[in-house]
A = this chain, B = another copy of it.
Amino acid sequence: MPVPRAAASPRSSRTGIPDATVARLPVYLRVLTALAENKVLTVSSEALASAAGVGSAKLRKDLSHLGSYGTRGVGYDVEYLVYQISRALGLTQHYPVAIIGVGNLGHALANYAGFATRGFQIAALIDADPKRSGEVIAGLEVRHLDELEALVKEHEISIGVIATPASAAQEVCDRLVACGVTSVLNFAPIVLAVPEGVDVRKVDLSIELQILAFHEQRKAAGVDGEPGGAVPDGVRTPAAS
What's the minimum C-beta distance from A27 to chain B, rounded to whole angstroms? 7
Q: Are A217 and B6 in contact (CB under 8 A)?
A: no
Q: Are A193 and B89 in contact (CB under 8 A)?
A: no
Q: Is A139 in contact with chain B by the CB < 8 A criterion? A: no
Contacts of A205 in B (CB 8 A): 109, 112, 114-115, 203
Distance between Cα atoms of A1 and B35 in the complex (Å): 10
Distance between Cα atoms of A239 and B16 in the complex (Å): 30
Q: Is A151 in contact with chain B by the CB < 8 A criterion? A: no
Q: Are A53 and B6 in contact (CB under 8 A)?
A: yes
Q: Is A178 in contact with chain B by the CB < 8 A criterion? A: no
What's the minimum C-beta distance from A129 to chain B, rounded to whole angstroms? 16
Q: Is A61 in contact with chain B by the CB < 8 A criterion? A: no
Please encode chain A, from 110 to 151, with 1 for each CB lying within 8 Å of some chain B CB and 0 for all others. Answer: 011011011010000000000000000000000000000000
Q: Which residues of A are at the interface with B, using a C-beta cutoff of 8 A?
A: 1, 3-9, 11-12, 14-17, 22-23, 25-27, 29-31, 38, 40-42, 47, 50-55, 67, 77, 79-80, 83, 87-91, 93, 95, 97, 103-105, 107-109, 111-112, 114-115, 117-118, 120, 158-159, 161, 170, 182-185, 189-191, 193-201, 203-220, 223, 225, 227, 229-241
